[in-house]
Amino acid sequence: MKRENTEWCQMYWFNTEIRYLPRILLIGDSIVAGHRNAVAERLKDSAAVGGFSSSKIVGDPGFYRELGLAMADYPVDYIYFNNGLHGLECSDESYRHGLEELIQFLRTNTRARLIWRNSTPITEDGHPENLSGKLNPIVIRRNQIAVEVMKQYHIPVDDLYTPMLEHPEYRVKDGFHYQTAGSEAQADHIAATLKKALKNRTPEFNLNGFVTDFPGFIHDWDGCECCSFKLNGVHCKLVKPNAAPTSEKHWLWRIHLGETFPSPVDWALLDLGWYVAHIEAGELYDPAESDRRFDMLHQFLTSLGFNWKCVPASSGRSGPDICRWAAGNTDKINSLCLEDSRTLPEEKNRGSGEPGERGNCLKEDDLKTLADAKIPVLHLCADVSATENTVPVEKQYRLENSQPIVDFIMKHLS
């Protein structure tokens, strides 16, 4: 196996902190290096994207060693792969064998669904408007070989050769690479292909009057099984308990559900058979939309048999939103847990005219409604953080319960 004078390899993973989305790995050469960032940006709400680029051709043992490292730290759900613009002196038969070897490697080392992407055209050096008479026929033959191999192994093929062939203005003069417009066009094409694949993976359907893909994408959440799904287009999560679920199907409503550092309260309740639920509504600064989403999650879970009464738990700026909703839905609340973060002086100095700052404080009327309905409220804050959110709570509530938060929650079930 003859290698090139300069060998290189690049590995990138984007949005590594997000675990509730499926992961896609783009495999290829410098063409992938050109569009991987743009593909990741287009899919940021649908998938976490990684990129592996190498100058080595399939069949080179070094290629598999490097690829193994790229896949070592993150489980992969989809692999969108290509190889074919390097090692051009390699015979067609060696290339065919290398592709079969790569498929076996991927299927042995991952459970990912595979999608092949055809190689892009090669043009004359210095004349991007002309196809290379010497090298582009190799690309055409390799693409045909790849189509045959993928058909044999039941792997779908995405054709990127034709779209790039039809736009010579996308190319640069070196014969292989693309201008920004070309890379952006590739990203559009690839993202559309992958979005279609993702949609086919978890099709949406009507469940109890909601359009959803529930249970959606199932993944690990610090030792628990988490369902990440969409509810009428909004991202939601439902963490299942470690223990047998309570017969009443109690649930904690976590307004901000941490991915990296889950709350010890969540862990404790999961061990007691509780569920932890979440709907994406952080800092919308739109009371009507927040209330709509909160109503939607409650209606959906109760339609699945979850307890009518839940325990909302919020922190920081989400406190006013959940207090407002709770005040209008006191029949749906067992208790309320708030954790206030200190408002920074520079935020205060920006004045009350900005949405989400001073105008987003806890409302006296909401607190009075909750107090009149005898809804137990636990409000956590440091004694040095007497913020505008904490003081009104103290006026309405004088909690002397010093028991742990979980004891507080369990004490006020009804």
The tens digit of pLDDT for each residue in 296-318 reads 999 999 999 999 999 999 876 67
Nearest to 214 by CA among 232, 198, 197: 232
pLDDT digits (tens, 9 = 90+) for 227-248: 989 999 899 999 999 888 989 9
Q: Report the relative pairing of strands 251-254 and 311-315 from DSSP bridges.
A: parallel
pLDDT digits (tens, 9 = 90+) for 331-377: 999 999 987 644 433 333 333 444 444 445 678 888 899 999 999 99
Distance CA 336, CA 311 (A): 6
Residue 271 and residue 302 in contact, taking contact as beta carbons nearer than 8 Å:
no
Reported as half-sphere exposure (CB side, CA atoms, 13 A), residue 38 has a value of 18
Q: Is the pLDDT of residue 33 over 60?
A: yes
Residue 199 confidence class, pLDDT cut points 50, 70, 90: confident
SS3 318: helix
Reported as half-sphere exposure (CB side, CA atoms, 13 A), residue 215 has a value of 8
Q: Reduced to 3 DSSP states, what percent helix, strand and coil does the chain have, rounded to the nearest 5?
A: 40, 20, 40
Enumerate domains of the chain plus CATH numbers: 9-201 (3.40.50.1110), 205-411 (3.40.50.1820)
Distance CA 188, CA 193 (A): 9
CA angle, 101 as apex, 91 and 72 as ends, to 5°? 130
Beta bridge partners of 277: 238, 253
**Where are any strands of DSSP class E within 146-204?**
157-158
Q: Is the pLDDT of residue 404 over 90?
A: no
Residue 101 and residue 65 in contact, taking contact as beta carbons nearer than 8 Å:
no
Q: Which two tokens stand for residue 71?
A: 């896949």
Q: Is the pLDDT of residue 32 over 50?
A: yes
Distance CA 37, CA 290 (A): 32
Residue 359 and residue 352 in contact, taking contact as beta carbons nearer than 8 Å:
yes
pLDDT digits (tens, 9 = 90+) for 52-97: 999 999 999 999 999 999 998 888 989 999 999 999 999 999 999 9
- So what's the pLDDT on residue 366? 87
- So what's the pLDDT on residue 281? 84
Q: Which two tokens stand for residue 122?
A: 């090669």
pLDDT digits (tens, 9 = 90+) for 391-402: 555 444 444 433
Q: At what angle do helices 92-109 and 61-70 cross, to 10 degrees?
A: 30
**Where are any strands of DSSP class E within 178-319?**
205-207, 210-212, 217-221, 224-231, 234-239, 251-254, 275-279, 311-315
Q: Is the pLDDT of residue 47 over 70?
A: yes
Contacts of 217 (CB under 8 A, 6+ apart): 20, 21, 22, 77, 202, 227, 228, 229
Distance CA 23, CA 309 (A): 35
Look up the pTM and report it. Answer: 0.64
